[in-house]
Amino acid sequence: MSRLDSAIRRLTSQKIALEWAARKATRMNGIILELGLGNGRTYDHLREILPNREIYVFEREIAAHPDCIPEENFQFLGDFRDSLPRAKKRLGANSVLAHLDIGTGEKQASQQLAEQIGPLVLGLMKRESIIVSDQELTAWSYLRIDPPLNIPKDRIFIYNLV
Ligand SMILES: C[S@@+](CC[C@H](N)C(=O)[O-])C[C@H]1O[C@@H](n2cnc3c(N)ncnc32)[C@H](O)[C@@H]1O
């Protein structure tokens, strides 16, 4: 598969998964978390499909498209391992959807980061909330659910809190 095809598959899977999870999230009251603002593509999509919801973003350093930068009050800057505990103090466990898009291209390091921040993310989530992740979290295997049918296996990982 060419790198173009692979990029298209990844972005299409992300879009399908986020839209599927957003439909579930609309049935619950709570806030949305975007980990890995990057250039703001998925944040922009989330705010389009979940209008009127508070979306908090986490990013080491803002480098997004100028149209895709949330107000400062909705930014948690710095390393996830520092910003997530700060978020817990401010936001509590009130999130109904978290999107982890944290991969940096180094598979092992990204997976290790995901496993490290997993407990911190869980601390922010409400019961029955949904987490969509670009990394597998083996510690959450008991929470894993099948993704929507048209997503290739192991492309996106979806977890449903009980
Ligand atoms: C795949 S990109 C996000 C792409 C973005 N969701 C989009 O659609 O444009 C991953 C992002 O995670 C951020 N990131 C990776 N590790 C991080 C860490 N330990 N703390 C904070 N941000 C981190 C990187 O700076 C990068 O912008």
**Counted domains in the chain:** 1
Model confidence pLDDT, tens digit, residues 99-145? 999 999 899 999 999 999 999 999 999 999 999 999 999 999 999 99
Which residue's CA is the closest to the ligand 1 atom numbered 16? Answer: 102
Whole-prediction pTM value?
Answer: 0.97
Of 81, 104, 121, the one to substitute when testing ligand 1's pocket (max ligand atoms within 8 A of C-beta) is 104
Hey, CA dihedral for 14, 16, 19, 20, is it positive or negative?
negative
Answer yes or no: is pLDDT of 153 > 90.
Answer: no
Task: Give the domain CATH number at 101.
Answer: 3.40.50.150
Residue 70's pLDDT band (cuts 50, 70, 90)? very high
Counting atoms of ligand 1 from 1, which one is nearest the CA of 42? 8
CB of residue 118 inside a 6 A radius of ligand 1:
no
CA–CA separation, 8 vs 104, rounded Å?
17
Model confidence pLDDT, tens digit, residues 12-46? 999 999 999 999 999 999 999 999 999 999 999 99
The secondary element (H helix, E strand) that includes residue 63 is: none
Range of the domain at 138: 3-160
Counting atoms of ligand 1 from 1, which one is nearest the CA of 40? 9
CB of residue 6 inside a 6 A radius of ligand 1:
no
